Chains A and B, each alone.
Chain A
């Protein structure tokens, strides 16, 4: 096992061209992120923060404009052969299970698709055994009963298990899950999340879970990285970040959760446009700490001085905030 991180992004920038005449949207604007073997990292943020783009960049589905993604120490090559080989090691689970499965393919075909693309098995019997094992691992037992079913005959939770089985069948080392339980019923969420934890414990599978739900991060993640407008603004072990947040944005997010004890800080307005990123600290325009005057000493820096890219890796805590770094953030 390599001692370094399993998947690492360094200085990744992803920019999308703007529509007619509009400036380009800097979806990911400088991210250093590391995921270790057997680790579950939660990438948290609201829509438009770039977490989905970052996840796809880490999987090689999107090519970064600058920076590099490396897996097990080797930088990703973007030739189709290299990417295809990479797919066997890092897999994707999407949000909407009913959209993720081709309605005309049976469960068997959906799970076996990966194997057939990579021509991983010589004989039909081997393929059948691999599919059965993947389905059983994903919690669909007995697997044979599901072979000939179609997605529309299954419930939402079962469909998501099929998608997970389809990812598992290639025996990856890392899974990127984009909102894996957002479309599922509340009572079914727990089972799917427990499945992800079990896979980590039994198979040593690492996971990057992209979500807007902080409770999900609390439930299963080891580390959390909070994103805002294309940058990671706070990172660290889940226990410390979620119980003692230092960045004003993280504090605001946690304060508006129904069960929080702190008075809610409801930020006004919408998350800003990635095509028009404010100068200085990109959060300063909505920052309640700045507005309330608590950050008077560093106010100028907040408005003019951009923050360095945070390294989100290992067990260390990091926060990209002048005020939190300067004094003690509360």
Chain B
């Protein structure tokens, strides 16, 4: 049984004529101890997906499908069970984590909060655990007495990770954990995440727009566009030789240094990521696709097999590989 299994998840904000489909049928699977990367840009639904896992979306969002966490469907859980699962079963490192810390509370208190809520720990136990968590993420335990503004961006991110680990969850979802961080700090944080996942045998779902970072850290990679998964497969393969044209574009957006082909030749896609409220007909990617044909504007594309353990939602896939 997989640690996390998402079946045909659909999330729609609002209703009636003003309904905005943020996630339009996503199937994903994550095993314990493995790392899944979800790549995509603004408006693709990746943050909505992350929040949906713990039912953290606003009331106006309607969810359909199944999210099985260790076999239990999060979407049909009773409130009490859901609260128990939140943070103790799965936790999230939010996007913009550096701004998610409460500026007027001490760091130790903020990390201890889930401990006090879930474990009913005594303050002394909580303090000890907080110290251990800080050391685990590479900060001195004395930092617990300080405030967020005394820390740098990278240090705050470590605090967020410590918070996510507090109740020993089985799954961690990291939403853009290293965006806005310097290259070196990003490397430190990614290393830390890898080490923690290996030590504790956690499942990790990492969301980012940087395909290179995901390919380096994760085992499998899924590319999202306009609320759907358009490609999925082993991380290295998807990064180096994506089958879907969007995957290829995303991969070439961050050039490999030393590759003469990208020297003075920045590659991007025309247009902008689509507005979920106004998706094009047929394949959502076709207006920007360099290899679109007439049929693309009419038929929406399903995920097809594109190799061993790989799927891609493009009509060229079936034809090329045959």
Direct A–B touching, Cβ under 8 Å:
yes
Q: Residues of A at under 8 Å CB distance from B?
A: 46-47, 155-158, 185-194, 197, 212-215, 218-220, 238-239, 242-243, 252-254, 256-260, 264, 266-268, 270-271
Contact between A219 and B212, CB atoms less than 8 A apart: no
Partner of B273, one of A187, A191, A193: A187
| Residues of chain A contacted by B215 (CB below 8 angstroms) | 258
- Interface assignment of B128: CB less than 8 Å from any CB of chain A: no
Known A185-B209, A260-B257; contact A219-B268, beta-carbon cutoff 8 A: no
**CB–CB B268/A191 < 8 A:** yes
CB distance B216 to A194 under 8 Å? no
Residues A46 and B273 in contact, CB atoms below 8 Å apart: no
Q: Across the interface, which residues of B come within 8 angstroms of A268, CB to CB? A: 188
User: For residue B212, which residue of chain A has the nearest CB?
Assistant: A258
Question: Which of B152, B191, B263, B272 is in CB contact (< 8 Å) with A185?
Answer: B272
Given the interface contacts A46-B184, A47-B182, A271-B182, does A189 sit within 8 Å of B212 by beta carbon? no
Which listed segment binds A: B21-29, B246-254, B291-299?
B246-254
CA distance A270 to B252 in the complex (A): 30
1/0 per residue, CB under 8 A from A, across B140-161: the answer is: 0000000000001111000000
The secondary structure that dominates the A interface is helix
A-B contact pairs, 17 of them (CB 8 A): A46-B183, A156-B42, A156-B272, A189-B266, A189-B268, A191-B268, A191-B269, A193-B268, A213-B183, A219-B262, A219-B263, A219-B266, A239-B263, A242-B257, A252-B184, A256-B187, A266-B184
Is B258 part of the contact surface with A, judged by Cβ < 8 Å?
Answer: yes
A187 and B39 CA atoms in complex are apart in Å by 12
Interface centre among B42, B216, B256, B257 (most CB of A within 10 A): B257
Q: Which residue among A190, A193, A214, A252 has the maximum number of chain B CB atoms within 10 Å of its CB?
A: A190
Asked whether, in the complex, the Cβ of A258 is within 8 Å of the Cβ of B184, the reply is: no
Contact A243 B258, CB 8 Å, known A46-B182, A155-B272, A158-B272? yes
* Cα distance, A212 to B249, chains bound together (Å): 22
- CB pair B269–A266 under 8 Å, yes or no, is no
Q: Which of A155, A158, A214, A238 contacts B183 (CB 8 A)?
A: A214
CB A159 to nearest CB in B, in angstroms, measures 11
Given A187-B268, A259-B212, A266-B257 contact (CB < 8 Å): no
Q: Is the CB of A218 within 8 A of B272?
A: no
Contacts of B262 in A (CB 8 A): 218-219
Which residues of B (224-256) have their CB < 8 Å from a CB of A? Answer: 246, 249-250, 252-256
Determine if B270 is an interface residue (Cβ-Cβ < 8 Å).
yes
Q: B182, B191, B210, B266: which contacts A266 (Cβ < 8 A)?
A: B191
Flag if A219 contacts B152 (CB, 8 Å): no
- Name A188's closest neighbour in chain B (CB-CB): B268
Q: A187-B273, A258-B213 are in contact. Are A194 and B257 (CB under 8 A)?
A: no
CB distance from A287 to the nearest CB of B (A): 13
The 6 A-B residue pairs whose C-beta atoms are closest, nearest first, are: A190-B268, A193-B266, A258-B216, A256-B187, A155-B272, A258-B212
